A and B are shown apart, each in its own frame.
Chain A
C-alpha cells in the first residue's frame, strides 16, 4: 500500500509553516530562557540564572500544583458528564434534538463572553449568589469555580465527540446483546464503553492538554486571584512576562509548559494504546 501514498513533497508548505511559526519561536524561547531581557534592547545572556531561579521559586511550584489540580479535577468532572450526555444524545429519543442543541449553546459563546458572564453571575453584591457564598473571592473555592466555568464551556464539545462515536457503534452489537438478555447497564459497560475507548483517549488528551494551557478564562474571570489562588502556570508566565517584563524568566516557564504538554499527551497516548490508533484512511 505504500506506493499509493501521496509524495512527501506535498507536505513541504506545511513543514515550512510549522518551522516558521512553531519551531522558530520555540527555539527563540529556549534561547531567551538563558538570557535576561526586560523587553527593551538586546537580551543579555545570563547562563542558567533563570533556571536556578525557577527551581527555587515557590510561587512557580505552587502554580504547577494548581495547574495539576485544575487538570485532574476538570478531567474528573467533565469526562463522566460528557460521556453520559453524549451516549444519551446518540439515542433515538424524541426530545434529544432540542435538548442537544440547548446543551450545545455554551460552545458557541466566546471565552471572553463566558468569563464575563460568570463573573457577573457570581458577583457577591449583584449576582445570583448575592449575599451567599463567595465563589470567586474565597481562595479555597475559586479554583473549583474556575473548573466549573471551564467545564461548562467545554463539556458540549466533548459531548459532541462522544455522540458521534456512539452513533458509529454497529447496531448489530446491541441487537445481539438484547437477544442474550443483557440489561441497559451491562450493554453500556460491555459494548458502548469499550467501543468508545479511542474517543475517550482523544477527548482526555484534549481535555488534559487544554487545561494545562488554559489561560484566557482564568485571566478574565479571576486574573489569578484572589491573591494567587488561581494563578496557574500559564498565567504565572503571562504575569511574569507581560506585567513584570521579565521576558527571560517567563521564557523558562514557557519551556517548562511546552515540555509538560508534550510529555503529557505522549504519555496519555502510550498508556492508552497509541499504536492501536492507526489511520482509518489507509485502511490498515
Chain B
C-alpha cells in the first residue's frame, strides 16, 4: 500500500511539475537544466552565463518561473524525475530543509579546488549558503541589504536630519505627524515588510546571536528577553503613529508604499536595496532630481548589536541537486561563469551590487555609482549579515511567525503573546 501511494504521489508531482513552465523547456538533450526566477533584468544575464558555458563545450538550458509559484514548484519537483540540476535559491534555512533531506550536493570540494572561485566572493555572503560548515550554494546575483530610505525634500521642509539613533527616529515621528505627514511608509498588507523592522531592532538590541539561537533551537530561543524588549520598542513606534493608520491595506507589489514616499506623503521607508531600482522605474523624476536619500538603520543606545550589522537577503544562490544525473556538469556550470568579469559587469550594468571582492572601481564607473558603492561598502564592513527570518527559518515556522507578526502590528497581539505563540511552534 505504501509504495503504491508513494508512486501515486510521485505521479501527481510529475504532472504538477510538468505544467505551467514559463521558459523554454528544452527537454534533456544531456544539458544542465537551470531553474531561476522570472526577472526581465536578470534573465538575459543568466542566459549569457549559460551561453558562456556552452561556448566552453558545456550544455545547459534556462527555465524561469514566477516568484510565488517558484518555491512550490521547486518543492514538488525536487526528488521527482523532473528536478532541475541547478536551481536559484535564497540560502539559509530555506535551503537547509533540502540539505537535511539529502537533496543538495556539497559544493565545498568545488570551492576548495578552485581557489579563484572561493576568494572571488565576500565571505559573509558566501556564508549565506553555508550549512553545518559546508557550502551548498554559489552567489549568483547582487546583495540585497535592507536600508532606511527617506524623502530629502520632506526632511528639508521640516528642517530635519535623517535618524542616527532610535530616539532620533521617535522624535522624527512627532515632527512629521505635527506636519500632517505620515512618518514611515509601510506596505503592511504583506508581512515581510513588517518583518524587516523587528529584524533590525532585535539585531541592534541583542546582536545577531539572539536570532541564531532561535533558528538553531539553542538557548532560550524566542523566550530571550531581548525579543520581548525589541517587540516592546516596535510597539511603541506603532502606537506612536509611526506607520500612520492605514498601513494594513497598503501593498508593496502594487507600488503603494513606494509611491507614498515619492509623493512626499510619507517621510521614510525601510526596504531592501531593490527599492532604488523600483523607485527609478516608478518615479524616475523623484530619483533623478536627487530627492531619494538613504541611511543605515538607526542604532539603539545600550544595545549589544553592532550598528554596522545589516539584515536582508545576502544574495541569491545557485545550488546543485544531488539526485541529478549530471552532477559533475552542474558543478562545472556553477563554478565557471558566476565570478567571470563579463558576468559581474553585466550585473553591475543592471544596477545590481555583486557579492564579488574588489569591484569598487567597476561600481564607481557605473550609473548610480553613489548608491551602489554605498551598498557595497555597507555590506563589506558589516560584521554580520542576517538573512531575512522568513528565509532563514523552516517554512512552517516562518509562516506561523509572519501570521503572528501581522496580528502584532494590528495591535491584536502583545509582545508577550507574540513570544508565547511563536515559541510554542
Instruction: List, in ascending order, chain B residues with CB within 8 A of A31's CB.
Output: 5
In B76-124, the 8 Å CB interface with A consists of 76, 78-79, 97-98, 101, 103
Contact residue range for chain A?
35 or more
The complex places the Cα of A39 from the Cα of B12 at a distance, in Å, of 12
- What is the bound-complex CA distance between A245 and B75, given in angstroms? 9
CB under 8 Å from chain B, chain A span 87-144: 119-120, 122-126, 134-139
Q: Mark B386-407, 1 if CB is under 8 A from A, else 0.
A: 0000000001101110010011
List B residues 243-265 near A (Cβ within 8 Å).
Answer: 245-251, 254, 256, 259-260, 265
- Report if A192 contacts B (CB, 8 A): no
**Are A227 and B410 in contact, CB atoms less than 8 angstroms apart?**
yes
Residues of B within 8 A of A139 (CB): 248, 410, 412
Q: Which residues of B contact A28 (CB under 8 A)?
A: 5, 8-9, 12
Contact present for B97 and A40 (CB under 8 Å): yes
B415 in the interface, Cβ–Cβ < 8 Å? no
Is there a chain A Cβ closer than 8 Å to B72's Cβ? Answer: yes
Give 9 pairs: A residue, B residue, CB < 8 Å, sorted on A.
A119-B251, A119-B254, A120-B254, A124-B249, A125-B250, A134-B245, A139-B248, A226-B249, A227-B407
Does B298 count as interface, using CB distance less than 8 angstroms?
no
**B283 an interface residue at 8 Å Cβ cutoff?**
no
Contact B189 A222 (CB under 8 A): yes
Instruction: Report chain A residues within 8 Å CB of B98.
Output: 40
Residue of B nearest to A39 (CB): B75
Query: A43 contacts the other chain (Cβ, under 8 Å)?
Result: yes
Main secondary structure of the interface of A (DSSP, over half): loop
Please tell me if the beta carbons of B9 and A126 are within 8 angstroms of each other in the complex: no
Chain A residues within 8 Å of B399, by CB: 239-240, 243-244
B55 proximal to A (CB < 8 A): no
| A44, B61: Cα distance in complex, Å | 35
B101 touches A126 (CB 8 A): no
**Cα A128 to Cα B260 with chains together (Å):** 16
How far apart are the CA atoms of A106 and B247 in the complex, in Å?
29
Would you call A126 and B256 a contact (CB within 8 A)? yes
- Interface assignment of B361: CB less than 8 Å from any CB of chain A: no
Chain A, 185-225, CB within 8 A of any chain B CB: 222-223, 225
Given the complex of chains A and B, what is the CA–CA distance between A42 and B247 in angstroms? 42
Closest to B395 in A: A245
CB pair B249–A227 under 8 Å, yes or no, is no
| Chain B contacts for A243, CB-based, 8 A | 395, 398-399
Query: In the complex, A123 Cα to B189 Cα: how many Å?
Result: 11
Q: B183 interface residue, CB < 8 Å from A?
A: no
Q: Is A25 an interface residue (CB 8 A)?
A: yes
Which residues of A have CB within 8 Å of B242?
none
Which residue, of B259, B396, B398, has the highest number of chain A Cβ atoms within 10 A? B396
Say whether B249 contacts A228, CB under 8 Å: no
Contact with A along B24-41 (1 / 0, CB 8 A): 000000000000000000
Extra contacts, 16 of them, besides A137-B246, A227-B412, A243-B398 (Cβ < 8 A), are A40-B79, A40-B101, A41-B101, A42-B6, A43-B6, A120-B254, A125-B259, A135-B249, A136-B249, A139-B248, A223-B189, A225-B248, A226-B189, A227-B248, A242-B72, A243-B395
Q: Could you tell me the distance between the alpha carbons of A244 and B396 in the complex, rounded to whole angstroms?
A: 4
Chain B residues 240 to 292 lying within 8 A of chain A, measured CB to CB, are 245-251, 254, 256, 259-260, 265
A272 close to chain B: CB less than 8 A: no
Interface of B is mostly: helix
Q: How far is the CA of A119 from the CA of B396 in the complex (A)?
A: 28
Give the interface of B toward A (CB within 8 A).
2, 5-6, 8-9, 12, 72, 75-76, 78-79, 97-98, 101, 103, 188-190, 245-251, 254, 256, 259-260, 265, 395-396, 398-400, 403, 406-407, 409-410, 412
A225 partner residues in chain B, CB cutoff 8 A: 189, 248, 406
Complex Cα–Cα for A226 and B406 (A): 7
A260 at the interface (CB under 8 A from B): no
Chain B residues with CB below 8 A from A222, complex form: 189
Given A244-B395, A245-B395, does the pair A124, B250 have CB atoms closer than 8 Å?
yes
The distance in angstroms between the C-alpha atoms of A137 and B340, with both chains bound, is 47
Q: CA of A226 to CA of B186 in the docked complex: distance in angstroms? A: 13
> How distant is A269 from chain B, measured CB to nearest CB, in Å?
32
Known: A31-B5, A134-B246. A125 touches B406 (CB 8 A): no
How many angstroms from the CA of A242 to the CA of B412 in the assembled complex? 25
Residues of B within 8 A of A135 (CB): 249
The reply to whether the CB of A38 lies closer than 8 angstroms to some CB of chain B is: yes
* A residues 261-284 touching B (CB-CB < 8 Å): none
User: Whole-angstrom distance between the alpha carbons of A245 and B406 in the complex?
Assistant: 20
Residues in A neighbouring B406, C-beta threshold 8 A: 225-228
Residue in contact with B260 in the complex, picked from A125, A244, A245, CB distance below 8 Å: A125
A213 to nearest B CB, angstroms? Answer: 20
The 10 closest A-B pairs by CB, nearest first: A137-B249, A137-B248, A226-B248, A244-B399, A124-B246, A136-B249, A244-B396, A39-B75, A227-B407, A245-B395
Give Cα distance in the complex from A39 to B98, angstroms: 10
Known contacts: A40-B75, A223-B189, A226-B410. The answer to whether A24 contacts B8 by CB under 8 A is yes
Nearest CB of chain A from residue B358's CB, rounded to whole Å:
38
A230-265: CB near B (< 8 Å → 1, else 0) gives 000000000110111110000000000000000000
| Complex CA–CA separation, A28 to B409 (angstroms) | 39
A98 to B246: give the CA distance in the assembly, Å: 39
Distance, CA A239 to CA B68, complexed state (A): 12
Q: In the complex, what's the smallest C-beta–C-beta distance from A162 to chain B, in angstroms?
A: 34
A157 to B210, CA, bound (A): 55
Chain A: CB-nearest residue to B102: A41
* A38 CA / B76 CA spacing, docked (Å): 10
Using known A-B contacts A28-B12, A40-B78, A136-B249, determine if residue A125 contacts B265 with beta carbons closer than 8 Å.
yes
Measured in the bound complex, the distance between the Cα atoms of B75 and A107 in whole Å is 35
Note all chain A residues with C-beta closer than 8 A to B78.
40
